[in-house]
Structure 1
Amino acid sequence: VEDGGVVAAPSSSSAGLGVVGAAVEAVAAVAAMQDEVGSRREGPEPDPDDEPPKKKARVPGGESGKLEERLYSVLCCTVCLDLPKASVYQCTNGHLMCAGCFIHLLADSRLKEEQATCPNCRCEISKNLCCRNLAVEKAVSELPTECTFCLKQFPRSSLERHQKEECQDRVTQCKYKRIGCPWQGPFHELPAHESECSHPTKTGTELMGILGEMDQSHRRDMQLYNGIFSLLCYEKIGFTEVQFRPYRTDDFITRLYYETPRFTVLNQTWVLKARVNDSERNPNLSCKRTLSFQLILKSKVNSALECSFLLLKGPYDDVRIKPVIHHHCFSNDTNETEYVLLPISDSVECNKLLAAKNINLRLFIFQVQK
């Protein structure tokens, strides 16, 4: 109130309220400025329903990608650091090993005459101590993997069927392969190739030359099976299950070898011996593994005994052996055959045999008629 040019001072209570109000307004202004700065930096918070479709798809994809990477590191084999493709074994402490690495560790321990141990925690491992982890096998089968042909992602459980039957980029062969067409290519190009393939229009003379080359490999297989069938017609045939047991030589550097107990076939006493990589010094340092064997006649004979023999897998084993027929004329002076390779398919099959406690096979001996 102005009175004679003099301004009246506000009361103390109204002054206090004015100060508080000003402070509140100042705090509100600062908060508004901070919100505005934050909105400029981070942008307005979007409504989930208004979010663009690309962003919606990208966020869960990134999260699942990180999850898959973490699962890979958790479920991978502790030896090869790759995801198992078949059976998964675990030690007593739970560390995972794929079937190939597990068998390889057992085979190496047999070659080095040591107890096999887990490469992670060094606890003892064996077929009796370790067990399969079915939960991990199922989890790995559901993880995505890339098709080698079309490069798309599929669950591991369905990848094999996709690559064999569904993938349009899978490698296929021309239906005229049986008459010599060498074409190979993606499945989606097959109809175009077959419509233009020149082999159906070749002359009979040209086709006879092509088929003659293709028959050579088939002829070798037929010779083997015909030889086996002819041996089955012999008068004297004997067979038995044999069990190779592991032993060590008495050398300064011991070597692993196998030998069977004595057995009787065709009224004669025999023994089988086997060795790894032809008794090389350190077979555990080689990735290539082979087994070779020899047949020894322990009985004394009055005349030469000419025989054919072959080894096959035992009735309870799953090792893959392609039969090969061997011949030898046994006498008191030549009672041992040369070492011949056991016809297993590859080093993986050899490791299976080495990892086993004993090797069980079936031996056939045919006495050649004179």
Structure 2
Amino acid sequence: MSEAEATTSTTDSTEPEKITEDLLEPEAKRRKTAAIQQDEKKYRLEERLGGILCCAVCLDLPKAAVYQCSNGHLMCAGCFTHILADARLRDETSTCPTCRVEICKTLATRNLAVENAVSELPSECQFCNKQFPRNSLEKHEDEECEDRISGCKYHRIGCPWRGPVHERAQHEKECGHPHKSGAEVMEALEILDQQLIEERKLYKTIFELLGYDKITFNDIQLKPYRTDDFVHRLFYESSRFSAFNNQWVVKAKISDNQKDPTQSSERDMTYQLILKSKTSTPLSLSYIVLRGPVGDVKINPRVYNFDFTEQETETPYEHFPLPDTAECNRLLAAKTINFRLIMFLASK
């Protein structure tokens, strides 16, 4: 074999090996690609689980309690109470939105396994868009996230700035509100003063009432009933109870300003105090509704006053001081409503 042929032979044998090495991906790139594929697989699984464990009504993952019908269909606490409330308003049997089996407080059960599973699923922070387990997301958004929305420390004197917490220090260095005149600052403080005045007025009124000679309280239980009108309306009424040597009844109704509360997502409750006994002397009464030891209703206390006479035996319907529509639905979902009524009688 000649020298030229040997050289050609050597070149041909090494060329494929060189080409193979050039086509291979770097090790770091292979590891990165594998990690991305693994993450995509993981998130696809989480998305599938989210679709399985979501509420059958709102199609969102529950934030707290999870209820299920006898066939295992899931509902978040808000949708569950809303379904029960709608059924009570329509005088119908509440049913599962998926399989139409009957549901109620006793037939539906909590699914603790789903609640725990959902709490471990990742959810995106509304501020920084990073993923966190649901059971730690609230703490992150409230206390840890550097992008969470914060206000200026001078908001009490009128500064309207709101922005990411990591920009707060820089803003406060440049904020012009500390250098405003006293007259300008007073405009902002007047709003805060008005809120404090309302709170102090309530507390002062309650403490004055506690000094009355005649005070009594009753733990009231409201039960639903319906009128015999063409369009049946839902009311609640208590049994008769005694106070100040007279007989009384509490009556309540849902969404007094709406013809059909089932067609609205906003609901409230109003109530009145009715004197059932005959009285020859006027009764100047103050009354307040509180949660009480039996019920678990959330109430923002308000004091109402009324002068009962022989002709005026019913107070006007006053707002039952519930915080929101969700609390009203929760009360409607229950068979009875329990609270404490405190009554104060002014001495003549």
State TM-score, norm by structure 2. 0.89
Equivalent residue number for residue 224 of structure 1: 202
Letter in 2 for 1:125: I
SS at match of 1:257: strand
Structure 1 residues 154-197: Cα deviation after superposition (integer angstroms, max 9, x where no partner): 11111111111111110111222333332211101011011122
SS at match of 2:298: coil
Among 177, 180, 183, the residue aligned to 1:199: 177
Letter in 2 for 1:303: T
Q: CA deviation at 1:131?
A: 1.2
Question: Which runs of structure 2 are paired with 1:192-271 in the superposition (5 Å)?
Answer: 192-271=170-249
Distance 1:119 1:357 in 2: 21
Distance 1:255 1:191 in 2: 57
Distance 2:177 2:66 in 1: 47
Distance 1:210 1:264 in 2: 49
Equivalent residue number for residue 83 of structure 2: 105
Distance 2:50 2:145 in 1: 25
Equivalent residue number for residue 296 of structure 2: 318
Deviates more, 1:200-209 or 1:337-346: 200-209
Equivalent residue number for residue 26 of structure 1: none
Equivalent residue number for residue 86 of structure 1: 64
Higher relative contact order structure (alpha carbons within 8 Å, sequence separation ≥ 6): 2
Distance 1:90 1:264 in 2: 42
Equivalent residue number for residue 145 of structure 2: 167
Q: CA deviation at 1:111?
A: 0.8
- Structure 1 residues 46, 83: closer, same or farther in 2, change over 3 A? farther
Among 288, 296, 316, the residue aligned to 2:274: 296
Q: CA deviation at 1:50?
A: 7.5
Counterpart check, 1:71 vs 2:49: yes
Equivalent residue number for residue 357 of structure 1: 335
Equivalent residue number for residue 260 of structure 2: 282
Distance 2:204 2:174 in 1: 40
Distance 1:80 1:314 in 2: 33
Distance 2:26 2:173 in 1: 54
Given that 1:91 and 1:125 are in contact with CA atoms closer than 8 Å, whether structure 2 keeps it comes out as: yes
Distance 1:60 1:48 in 2: 19
Letter in 2 for 1:314: G
Distance 2:27 2:181 in 1: 70
Counterpart check, 1:181 vs 2:168: no
Distance 1:327 1:97 in 2: 42
- Structure 1 residues 134, 331: closer, same or farther in 2, change over 3 A? same
Among 16, 29, 34, the residue aligned to 1:56: 34
Deviates more, 1:60-69 or 1:97-106: 60-69
Structure 1 residues 27-76: Cα deviation after superposition (integer angstroms, max 9, x where no partner): xxxxxxxxxxxxxxxxxx98997862331122112211221121111000
SS at match of 1:126: coil
Q: CA deviation at 1:334?
A: 0.5
Q: CA deviation at 1:286?
A: 1.4
Number of residue equivalences: 327
Distance 1:59 1:179 in 2: 53
Q: CA deviation at 1:205?
A: 4.4
Given that 1:314 and 1:361 are in contact with CA atoms closer than 8 Å, whether structure 2 keeps it comes out as: yes
Given that 2:64 and 2:77 are in contact with CA atoms closer than 8 Å, whether structure 1 keeps it comes out as: yes
Distance 2:170 2:210 in 1: 50
State TM-score, norm by structure 1. 0.84
Which segments of 5 or more consecutive residues in structure 2 lack a partner in the other structure? 1-22
Equivalent residue number for residue 15 of structure 1: none
Distance 2:28 2:235 in 1: 74
Given that 1:169 and 1:187 are in contact with CA atoms closer than 8 Å, whether structure 2 keeps it comes out as: yes
Identity of aligned residues (%): 53
RMSD over aligned CA atoms reads 2.0
Structure 1 residues 232-251: Cα deviation after superposition (integer angstroms, max 9, x where no partner): 11111111101100001111
Of structures 1 and 2, the larger Rg is shown by 1
Which segments of 5 or more consecutive residues in structure 1 lack a partner in the other structure? 1-44
Distance 1:50 1:348 in 2: 53
